[in-house]
Structure 1
Amino acid sequence: MQSQSKQQTKGAAQRTGRDPIVMASVASVALSWYYFYVKGDRQRGIFVGLWPPTLLAFASYFRQAELQTMLERGGASGVVTRVQEMLEQQQ
């Protein structure tokens, strides 16, 4: 059982790493370092560096809203079933 849990965790981490929002956040950090250190434009580097937390916050909000919608649709009796379905859809 523990091995299956580890595999699921590893799979979720791999899918998250390929998420477009995560990739955009990583690119934004790289771009901010470029502006800040290479170009010497500190103000623009800081501005661009503020994008990743904003992008990740929006992504988190939308995922939570999707989960809440799924839970509301299933009612109290179908909560576990809906969560399992959602996890299977993401795999």
Structure 2
Amino acid sequence: MINNRKKYLLVKVIEAEPMTLGEFYKKQGYNIPPLANVYNIDGYIVYHNGKAEWYSLDEFNPYTRELSNGSEIEVNIIDKNVCKCEFYSFIE
């Protein structure tokens, strides 16, 4: 079988807030078994394109950076093998 996968860089701006897995399940209307240990699993609920998804801290933290008011991300694709990303934070 031929592998046709290629590597891509995905940069997107999202909104997120801290939420345990149990709180996310409850917000989505799921029935949580009484013995389920989901209320002490920390993570974030992520909102993007009208969807809400939950990510554990291990999935969320290494790939995100909080943007404060006045922050910008500049992405320049130099060629097909080089991409330059810069983060700017402006203090008012």
Work out whether the TM-score is over 0.5. Answer: no
Give TM-score, length-normalised by structure 1: 0.24
Q: Which structure: greater strand fraction?
A: 2
